[in-house]
Copies of this chain bind each other. A is one copy, B any other.
Amino acid sequence: MATIEDVAKKVGVSVTTVSRALNNHPYVSEKTQKLIFEAMETMNYTPNRIAQQLRGKQTKLIGVIISRVTNPFFSYLVDAIEQVAYRNGYQVVVLQTLEDKNREINFLQMLQAKQIDGLIMTNAENSYKTLKRYIDLSKVVICNRYTANDEMPIIKIDEHLATHEAVTYLLTKGYTNIAYLTGGSIQDTDFRLQGFISAHQSFGVSYNEELFFPNILTIEDGKNWTKTICSFPKKPDAVFANGDLVAAGVIGQSYDENIKIPDELAVLGFDDQPIASLVYPKLTTIRQPIQEMGEYAAEILFSKLLGTRAPKQIDLKTSLIIREST
């Protein structure tokens, strides 16, 4: 590949001048400028970004740590982030943890090694204590429900409130034996669980701890859970699923098991992904503004990286979308 020096030699000027022409520096005569551009064209020259980066110390790349891109929640998030990034002249590197702690550490090191300029984390496999030494607060934004620490900028919805309202709606409809399905397993930072419990308390109904099911996060997990409850002596009459994918799995399997929805089992999802209105019966769910979350996270990251003004940080609004499954 041609280098800046090749171009300079061909035109008979210095490397400095070629560089200036390239960067639209004012002090280059029109004539020289023209000659240089012609030479670059015929030589099919493209400046080497890596060399530019070593000087400028920017890669124009940001990373997004997600658990897995096949989950629509994350693909929509990546989509929104990519679009803001592109507008700012950046590209997005997709970093999938696949629930692997080492992968996560690896990704954080990419930031330290300056392979990427900034990072959006939507997820945390390691404890904050472990992560802390790798995280440069001026280059990292947290997006989604990881609640590591108050120091960090975080874009999120009000998990507690959203769940409290939705569960109150279920209780009002007369469901009293509601299962709680979550992808995680840690209970004390689960604000959705807190909202779930507080709704029960406000309503004067006791919350049954045996109906807490951790580590359920895929369609398949939702299906399997549904099979499991068939053998329960006293089945739940409703289920709150953390994520529409799980909820869709529950609905799909219920059809095969001949469980009537919502009569025998009401199903409440979270996210409002496109799948929610395609399953039968259609899924009642809590709508998260995924696109806005991604955009905000990206805007805030770029305001840090580029030193521009940051948008105000707020908890984004959710809404309960009532369809047929409750």
Binding site for B on A (CB under 8 A): 1, 44, 46-51, 53-54, 57, 59-61, 68-70, 72, 75-76, 78-79, 82-83, 86, 91-96, 98, 103, 109-110, 112-115, 133, 219, 245, 248-249, 251-252, 255, 274-275, 277-280
Contacts and interface: CB of A to CB of B under 8 A. Distances in A.
A70 B61 contact: no
B96 A93 contact: no
Contacts of A110: 49, 91
A147 to B, nearest CB: 26
Contacts of A68: 79
Given A49-B115, A92-B94, 10 more contacts: A1-B112, A47-B113, A50-B59, A86-B96, A249-B278, A251-B278, A255-B280, A278-B278, A279-B279, A279-B280
Contacts of A91: 93-95, 110
A49 B113 contact: yes
Contacts of A279: 278-280
9 contacts: A1-B112, A47-B113, A49-B113, A50-B57, A50-B114, A69-B78, A70-B79, A79-B96, A82-B96
Nearest to A218: B274
A280 B261 CA distance: 13
State the 3 A-B residue pairs at the shortest beta-carbon distance, nearest first.
A280-B280, A46-B112, A49-B115
Contacts of A46: 109, 112-113
Contacts of A60: 115
A86 B115 contact: no
Number of copies of this chain that the complex holds: 2
Given A46-B112, A93-B61, A279-B280, A219 B51 contact: no
A51 B54 CA distance: 6
Given A61-B93, A279-B280, A280-B255, A75 B82 contact: no
A114 B49 contact: yes
Nearest to A277: B252
A244 B89 CA distance: 33
A86 B69 contact: no
Nearest to A46: B112
A91 B93 CA distance: 7
Contacts of A50: 50, 53-54, 57, 59, 114-115
A186 B272 CA distance: 34
Contacts of A249: 278
B93 A48 contact: no
Given A49-B110, A219-B278, A69 B59 contact: no
A115 B93 CA distance: 12
